[in-house]
Chain A
Amino acid sequence: MSYAEKMKNEWFGNVRGDILSGIVVALALIPEAIAFSIIAGVDPMVGLYAAFCIAVVIAFVGGRPGMISGATGAMALLMVTLVADHGLEYLLAATILTGIIQVLFGVFKLASVMKFVPRSVMIGFVNALAILIFTAQLQHFVGETWIMYSLVALTLAIIYILPKFTKAVPSPLVAIIIVSVLAIAMNMGVRTVGDMGTLPATLPMFALPNIPLTFETLMIILPYSLALAMVGLLESLLTASIVDDMTDTGSDKNKESRGQGIANMVTGCFGGMAGCAMIGQAVINVKSGGRGRLSSLVAGVFLMFLILVLGGLVVQIPMAALVGVMIMVSVSTFDWSSLKNIHRVPRTDALVMVVTVGTVVYTHDLSKGVFAGVLLSAIFFAAKISKVNVESHFDKKASRLTYSIHGQLFFASVTELIEKVEFETKAKEVVIDLSNAHLWDDSAVGAIDKMESKFEKRGAKVYITGLNKESSVLMDKIGGLSKASGH
């Protein structure tokens, strides 16, 4: 297939399915974009502009057709303190910088770095995200009446029971409409989206963030941008893999990284907050028949159209309905199968998952959780692989003591190795057999040198045998330095 044919297929290979699913996704995106803006502490418009800009830009530059990106909970949660301490303009600047970092990731083909994030950390990431989205809803219950509680319950009931009868319309949307109509008609006086911020019915306008362009500004936004860039790519590439699997097709992960970056740069210039791919929306899109780039474009454009036309109604949506939808989002984000299988996976993997979740819930920062999880996995890995076995054999006739060493020799395993060797010997010859060992670093070489010199001090002649090629190259390069005699 030529490039033009490929593009034509990605855009127009599934027009009907893409338009219909795009409309469904646009309807499902609105409540989420508003709710994530509220989590981040900005006006609902910031999340809606982000959803619009990101969905439209990704349609053109993304690497995974059929995937939906927009304002997400994972990203919103990372922005809370930046918005609270410095305000919206700094968030927009951080969004642009996030985009630049992500483009660099894509250009230097660093998508493969994601393989250093173990699967148990990814599962912990998703579960922690679900828990945070849920706990972010709890503040809306404070000081509320039973009217609000029952509206939330009604929203959830409609969301979960309606699909039993029809799947033609997304049930969260129906729930929002019914609950809104009910609240307005009966004049319940509950808090609405309008109480959380303004929602002007205007298209996003191009404007660079109004911030002082100083080194100090950069130092304020850089840590946020790094965390946003990392978490955004993590969730985007995970979502891309899920869409790959659902549609049984491949995707270009580096192109997706660049695309996410471009989308965030554009979003920041148009007053939107940083976003990334959305697992839930992508699954809804594919399930509704969306496969091509057109679905993302339709979702973005239709969302903006609805907001421009219906903006006056959107502000009247009760917060209770939004809270109900977000509870549903958190329940479906959580990877329940990981709980069901927790007794079956290795205990260290389960612990890594729990620590990832615990760190995120404690710090409210997904990037810190991922960091803690990766670090703990690395420690467990080093502990597992640093087991060394030493077998000794003494040949009386030749007065030859043979040590065969099994395992990986590196900084973490050499202490154990030295402890396992008995240096008090009267043997004339000592053979260190390394045919089942691999030397990885200078600590390993140092340990072998140390063994050699200790035995030689006791008057034994030392032979080292069975070095594999890599190990002997390492040995030649740095070996013998710590020992006076040499060979």
Chain B
Amino acid sequence: MFNKILLAVDGSEHADRATDKAIALARLSKNATVELLYVVDGNKSKSDVLKYGDSDTASFKRKEMLKAYEAKLYNKSVAYETTILHGSAAQTIIEHANKGQYDCLVMGSRGRNEFQTFLLGGVSHKVMKHVKAPIMLVK
């Protein structure tokens, strides 16, 4: 049913819950794999480089951050691979999701507050509109 699952995470609590759901979906079939996707957007690049000093350290810290998700998948014996991409969050997720043959995209409804959503637009909203695969949006 769901053999190839794309799980987009952003480090928020919503993403934690999305990971649990992706695991539940993956365990429905025998050979399911989960692709853990994290997108670094321009503003994140700026604040991470300021916070960690340079690009290499920032990349290292992001891999550390993703280890929590990887551990969840590993503990439930779900096969996974990790992808880190750079670009605008919504656009990059949409392009990546439409390029591969995914059975399902799982993601958290973003952790932005209402004011930010008003200014920047919801990532999940755009993704819902343009990704061809079925989507599970976890609240």
Contacts from A to B (Cβ < 8 Å): 115, 119, 122-123, 126, 160, 164, 238, 241-242, 244-248, 250, 279, 283, 286-287, 335, 337-338, 341
Residues of A near B58 (CB, < 8 A) are 245
Interface pairs A-B: 6 shortest CB-CB: A245-B55, A244-B55, A245-B45, A337-B47, A246-B45, A242-B49
A123 and B55 contact, CB distance less than 8 A: no
Of the residues A119, A164, A279, contact of B46 by C-beta under 8 Å = A279
B103 in contact (CB, < 8 A): no
A119 and B50 contact, CB distance less than 8 A: yes
B47 and A245 contact, CB distance less than 8 A: no
Interchain residue pairs with CB less than 8 A apart (6):
A242-B46, A245-B45, A245-B59, A338-B50, A338-B51, A341-B51
Q: Which parts of B28-60 form the interface with A (CB within 8 Å)?
A: 40, 42-43, 45-55, 58-59
Contacts A119-B53, A283-B42, A287-B88 hold; do A245 and B119 have CB atoms under 8 A apart? no
Residues of A near B42 (CB, < 8 A) are 246, 283, 286-287
B121 in contact (CB, < 8 A): yes
Smallest beta-carbon distance B3→chain A, Å: 29
Smallest beta-carbon distance B51→chain A, Å: 7
B52 and A119 contact, CB distance less than 8 A: yes
B67 in contact (CB, < 8 A): no
Q: What are the interface flags for B71-113 relative to A under an 8 Å C-beta threshold, 1 for contact and 0 otherwise?
A: 0000000000000001010000000000000000000000000
In whole angstroms, how far apart are the Cα atoms of A332 and B52 in the complex?
19
Question: Which among B40, B49, B51, B52 has the greatest number of chain A C-beta atoms within 10 A?
Answer: B49
Question: Which among A244, A245, A248, A337 has the greatest number of chain B C-beta atoms within 10 A?
Answer: A245
List 15 other contacts, CB 8 Å, given A164-B119, A246-B45, A337-B51.
A119-B50, A122-B50, A241-B54, A241-B55, A242-B55, A244-B49, A244-B55, A245-B45, A245-B55, A245-B86, A279-B46, A283-B43, A287-B88, A338-B50, A341-B51
Do most interface residues of chain B lie in helix, strand or loop, or is the interface mixed? helix
Of the residues B47, B54, B88, B121, contact of A335 by C-beta under 8 Å = B47
Smallest beta-carbon distance B67→chain A, Å: 20
A119 and B40 contact, CB distance less than 8 A: no
In whole angstroms, how far apart are the Cα atoms of A452 and B59 in the complex?
50
Residues of A near B49 (CB, < 8 A) are 238, 241-242, 244-245
Residues of B near A245 (CB, < 8 A) are 40, 45, 48-49, 55, 58-59, 86
In whole angstroms, how far apart are the Cα atoms of A12 and B118 in the complex?
38
Smallest beta-carbon distance B130→chain A, Å: 15
In whole angstroms, how far apart are the Cα atoms of A171 and B104 in the complex?
36
Contacts A242-B45, A283-B42 hold; do A160 and B119 have CB atoms under 8 A apart? yes
Smallest beta-carbon distance B116→chain A, Å: 11
A283 and B119 contact, CB distance less than 8 A: no
A335 and B52 contact, CB distance less than 8 A: no
A244 and B50 contact, CB distance less than 8 A: no
Residues of B near A250 (CB, < 8 A) are 55
B50 and A126 contact, CB distance less than 8 A: yes
In whole angstroms, how far apart are the Cα atoms of A286 and B45 in the complex?
11
In whole angstroms, how far apart are the Cα atoms of A123 and B47 in the complex?
9
Residues of B near A287 (CB, < 8 A) are 42, 88
A123 and B45 contact, CB distance less than 8 A: no
Of the residues A119, A126, A160, A248, contact of B86 by C-beta under 8 Å = A248
In whole angstroms, how far apart are the Cα atoms of A185 and B56 in the complex?
53
Residues of A near B53 (CB, < 8 A) are 115, 119, 122, 241
In whole angstroms, how far apart are the Cα atoms of A193 and B88 in the complex?
35
In whole angstroms, how far apart are the Cα atoms of A123 and B58 in the complex?
15
Residues of B near A248 (CB, < 8 A) are 55, 86
Question: Which among A241, A279, A341 has the greatest number of chain B C-beta atoms within 10 A?
Answer: A241
Smallest beta-carbon distance A374→chain B, Å: 14
Smallest beta-carbon distance B76→chain A, Å: 30
In whole angstroms, how far apart are the Cα atoms of A245 and B45 in the complex?
6
Smallest beta-carbon distance A353→chain B, Å: 10
In whole angstroms, how far apart are the Cα atoms of A242 and B57 in the complex?
12
Closest to B54 in A: A241
Question: Which among B42, B50, B51, B59 has the greatest number of chain A C-beta atoms within 10 A?
Answer: B50
Residues of A near B121 (CB, < 8 A) are 164
Residues of A near B51 (CB, < 8 A) are 119, 123, 337-338, 341
Closest to A287 in B: B42
B47 and A244 contact, CB distance less than 8 A: no
Residues of B near A279 (CB, < 8 A) are 46
Q: What are the interface flags for B106-139 relative to A under an 8 Å C-beta threshold, 1 for contact and 0 otherwise?
A: 0000000000000101000000000000000000
Closest to B46 in A: A242
Contacts A119-B52, A160-B119, A241-B55 hold; do A335 and B46 have CB atoms under 8 A apart? yes
